[in-house]
Chains A and B, each alone.
Chain A
């Protein structure tokens, strides 16, 4: 734990972290200092002037909190009348040239300016002269749409592109109240993290072409999750909603802070990967391409397994640890070899030195932990002799061409348990739909050997079983979560004395020797 100092806010003593700036330091104990330009990932800029606070006996007596480190004995004034007046006055100046189009602005409901107006200002406008006109609906590239008139020129987006992605596409051009964010003509946003500027924007100046006008944000339910787009496991907020007469679907993913994994950000591909949860889903049980009930399909599967002389189980590298344990137990039970072959999920060279990984699967480390073989050679060798393939959501079309698959599987009975349609689900003799990751809870180990858990986010109108439950139904011995967790505890020493829900919010770093000491 870092050093603590005692200081006073409005005369009340609080203990805060030494050296942190006042916004973060007193924010940690629940005291809000309004700010627009400061962002913990981008540092202090000091341009918005919303965070001006008084320092009693201080020199100078008025300071920007974002640039002022917390010091022992400091007397910070927030609710003094002259400080409240400054907040109102700066708000008024923020608003004079800001279009009052909240009813049609996508940001309404999660807009700092709107919130601060309600908290700190609430005055009638005194603006009786013409506003400054700027450009609207500018296509900045990468699905980012900009409105210069709504922009408060906090510069977060500019700093993000210069300091985080180091691509520098954005700038604030001109000066005076003609200042505006823009791209240089012909050099639009061109980085794989661009849409983060939409999250960073404290107002409605940056919107995502994918999300804008889809939902009013106050209708969205915000559930925590882990992105399955690659092996980084960025922490996300899954924003979803069930509209009247419709199903619960995801409208957007947003990064969720985890300093140990992804910080404040996520990549654009991961952000758009929610579409796979909404679209192209397997929803209908099929036996020999005919609609069937789940019970009939299970019975039919059991018969196929019974009759098979050499079954092979294939698992997806996206399966949760719990699912892998359950499926592996099933494999042992029916004496089937198990493979996690999934080279097609790896896009060599696609990753970067920031968040994006080559491996587009979420739990390959889990496969390794369970010692599930992932080699191509073993998979093909076993497939050659197998008369039944039970595939738990592994999209083989990523690893093989359709022609290859047709050829390889010509003599094999296929049971496909799948959340997404793909070439294999077309070939399947029996097809059983599976829940997608937003529809079940589980745990994953990411590329840095950090164990993270996630909860079920969505409640579908017709809920689907997840792979662990299907494995049990197919005769697997792991019938409930307790059995599975006991098995996980054996596999992961760090869990031996704890429960999954007790692992830290930032995840459990399995490289860390202290991890084994985690207790309830």
Chain B
């Protein structure tokens, strides 16, 4: 496979004013609707299943399969919520869709809602996206005015309301049930599952939650067909992905690439390689919650779900962070834990109490006051906290932290004064 950008989702990103409906329509927006309404909803689901599209929020769950979990004839409305909370550090792909081509997403919402018989959709957008929410709301207003949303959709007897719901600074609302709680006016605290949202979601009704990029991929699948989508990527990781490359590279940014490309080649050829001619120290492959890869490991990794799993890390959200030789891994771990601690919803004991403890231990090590026992404790806490909670936020912290502790333990040990200075010895000796 050639290591080079493709333009599927990003086809209109470079077109001036593509966020305006006039321009977007000139370039094909809403052109799939006639075909859509000529199909049966089951056929749409089947097409999406066949495309191999996997949820682009981080978990990678097959999108069509998720839709098919909806119970039939419950007598309750079905809701679609679009997850635009993108908050995982190093992830910034959905923002491009929201501001560069929001009509592609709105068209995707129409496709999804038709497939799942949903007439009310909420877009949950993170509060920090201030100007982005304005552009999105304008696009939705345009779509209403142009008759693509509202009592009918493009003249078809299909009612569809779309409401934008703004978050207000909480990473956890990217977790789908926390997101639902937030729309219901509550703190974003994840729900225990089961029941799963497809059965009991927003307002107790069957609900599908899809990431922006997943939804935005639908118009292409509708227009060109499942096979055309599958032509990109690998067998188990079909299609393209908007990769965000950040950190110590010459050309950080958002790049659309087919899945399955070699990680290091992408860094070198697409993102210009490690900056300032420095050596590579590690790569975070899919957002800050994914375990770090050493340069050695990165050599054989490709950008798809299977390869990342083989390398004991995750594809995640496709947010690649390049770490150069100057990075202090203990400081990095402090930065990471501080983030996840700050974002812990406070619900479950292990995460609420444990992440704060891990942060303080790391700070103690950084201050030179730590001991070898502290490193071991930090490592042990990763195991003690992980997967003991309602959601995976704690694991999003402990999985990467464990990887740094295991792969860069010597850097933590370097902070420990194995031989206390005479001054310290004196202190210890006095009662």
Touching in the complex, A and B, CB below 8 A? Answer: yes
* Chain A residues within 8 Å of B, Cβ to Cβ: 44, 46-50, 52, 62, 64, 67, 86, 89-90, 92-94, 96-97, 126-130, 132, 152-153, 172, 174-179
The 7 closest A-B CB pairs, nearest first, are A179-B346, A129-B360, A89-B384, A177-B356, A175-B346, A93-B353, A46-B192
**Contact residues in A for B356 (Cβ distance below 8 Å):** 97, 132, 176-177
Distance in angstroms between the alpha carbons of A46 and B363 in the assembled complex: 31
The one of A93, A94, A175 that contacts B384, using a Cβ cutoff of 8 Å: A93
**Contact residues in A for B350 (Cβ distance below 8 Å):** 49, 89-90, 93
The one of A48, A127, A174 that contacts B346, using a Cβ cutoff of 8 Å: A174
B167 near A: Cβ within 8 Å? Answer: no
**Contact residues in A for B345 (Cβ distance below 8 Å):** 175
In the complex, residue of chain A having the shortest beta-carbon distance to the beta carbon of B172: A175
The one of B347, B357, B388 that contacts A86, using a Cβ cutoff of 8 Å: B388
Q: Is the CB of A48 within 8 A of B342?
A: no
**Contact residues in A for B170 (Cβ distance below 8 Å):** 175
The bracket for how many chain B residues form the interface is: 20 to 34
Given contacts A49-B350, A175-B346, contact A62 B357 (CB under 8 A): no
Distance in angstroms between the alpha carbons of A48 and B349 in the assembled complex: 5
Q: Is the CB of B353 within 8 A of A96?
A: yes
**Contact residues in A for B355 (Cβ distance below 8 Å):** 176-177
Distance in angstroms between the alpha carbons of A90 and B350 in the assembled complex: 6
Dominant secondary structure of chain B at its interface with chain A: helix
Distance in angstroms between the alpha carbons of A261 and B355 in the assembled complex: 44
In the complex, residue of chain B having the shortest beta-carbon distance to the beta carbon of A85: B384
B294 to chain A, nearest CB (A): 29
The one of B360, B363, B374, B388 that contacts A89, using a Cβ cutoff of 8 Å: B388
B241 to chain A, nearest CB (A): 29
Beyond known contacts A130-B360, A176-B344: 19 more, CB 8 A cutoff? A44-B192, A49-B348, A49-B349, A89-B384, A90-B349, A90-B350, A93-B384, A94-B349, A96-B357, A128-B364, A132-B356, A152-B349, A153-B346, A175-B345, A176-B356, A177-B346, A177-B353, A177-B356, A179-B352
Distance in angstroms between the alpha carbons of A253 and B64 in the assembled complex: 59
16 contacts between A and B (CB under 8 A): A46-B192, A46-B348, A46-B390, A47-B348, A64-B192, A90-B350, A93-B349, A94-B349, A128-B364, A128-B374, A129-B360, A174-B346, A176-B346, A176-B352, A176-B355, A179-B346
Q: Is the CB of B389 within 8 A of A93?
A: no
Q: Is the CB of B347 within 8 A of A47?
A: yes
B414 near A: Cβ within 8 Å? Answer: no
Given contacts A62-B387, A93-B385, A175-B187, contact A67 B349 (CB under 8 A): no
Given contacts A89-B384, A89-B388, A129-B357, contact A175 B348 (CB under 8 A): no
In the complex, residue of chain B having the shortest beta-carbon distance to the beta carbon of A127: B357
Distance in angstroms between the alpha carbons of A119 and B200 in the assembled complex: 38
Distance in angstroms between the alpha carbons of A129 and B352 in the assembled complex: 16
B354 near A: Cβ within 8 Å? Answer: yes
Q: Is the CB of A52 within 8 A of B353?
A: no
* Chain B residues within 8 Å of A, Cβ to Cβ: 170, 172, 187, 192, 341-350, 352-357, 360-361, 363-364, 374, 377, 384-385, 387-390
**Contact residues in A for B361 (Cβ distance below 8 Å):** 129
Of residues A48, A64, A129, A132, which shows the largest number of chain B Cβ atoms within 10 Å of its Cβ?
Answer: A129
**Contact residues in B for A92 (Cβ distance below 8 Å):** 384
Q: Is the CB of B384 within 8 A of A153?
A: no
Q: Is the CB of B342 within 8 A of A176?
A: yes
Of residues A62, A93, A96, A172, which shows the largest number of chain B Cβ atoms within 10 Å of its Cβ?
Answer: A93
Distance in angstroms between the alpha carbons of A454 and B354 in the assembled complex: 48
Distance in angstroms between the alpha carbons of A127 and B357 in the assembled complex: 8
The one of A44, A46, A94 that contacts B353, using a Cβ cutoff of 8 Å: A94
A179 to chain B, nearest CB (A): 4
**Contact residues in A for B347 (Cβ distance below 8 Å):** 47
**Contact residues in B for A49 (Cβ distance below 8 Å):** 348-350, 388-389
Distance in angstroms between the alpha carbons of A86 and B361 in the assembled complex: 21
Q: Is the CB of B346 within 8 A of A93?
A: no
Given contacts A49-B349, A49-B350, A96-B357, contact A129 B364 (CB under 8 A): yes
B417 to chain A, nearest CB (A): 15
Distance in angstroms between the alpha carbons of A128 and B374 in the assembled complex: 9
Distance in angstroms between the alpha carbons of A57 and B78 in the assembled complex: 34
B354 to chain A, nearest CB (A): 5
Of residues B187, B342, B363, which shows the largest number of chain A Cβ atoms within 10 Å of its Cβ?
Answer: B187
B429 to chain A, nearest CB (A): 19
**Contact residues in B for A94 (Cβ distance below 8 Å):** 349, 353
B244 to chain A, nearest CB (A): 26
Q: Is the CB of B353 within 8 A of A67?
A: no
Given contacts A67-B192, A176-B342, contact A52 B388 (CB under 8 A): yes
Distance in angstroms between the alpha carbons of A94 and B342 in the assembled complex: 18
**Contact residues in A for B349 (Cβ distance below 8 Å):** 47-50, 90, 93-94, 152-153
A15 to chain B, nearest CB (A): 25
Q: Is the CB of A177 within 8 A of B377?
A: no
Of residues B342, B353, B360, B390, which shows the largest number of chain A Cβ atoms within 10 Å of its Cβ?
Answer: B353
**Contact residues in B for A153 (Cβ distance below 8 Å):** 346, 349, 352
In the complex, residue of chain A having the shortest beta-carbon distance to the beta carbon of B340: A176
Distance in angstroms between the alpha carbons of A167 and B37 in the assembled complex: 49
Distance in angstroms between the alpha carbons of A270 and B356 in the assembled complex: 43
Of residues B172, B341, B344, which shows the largest number of chain A Cβ atoms within 10 Å of its Cβ?
Answer: B344
Distance in angstroms between the alpha carbons of A174 and B350 in the assembled complex: 17
Q: Is the CB of B192 within 8 A of A97?
A: no
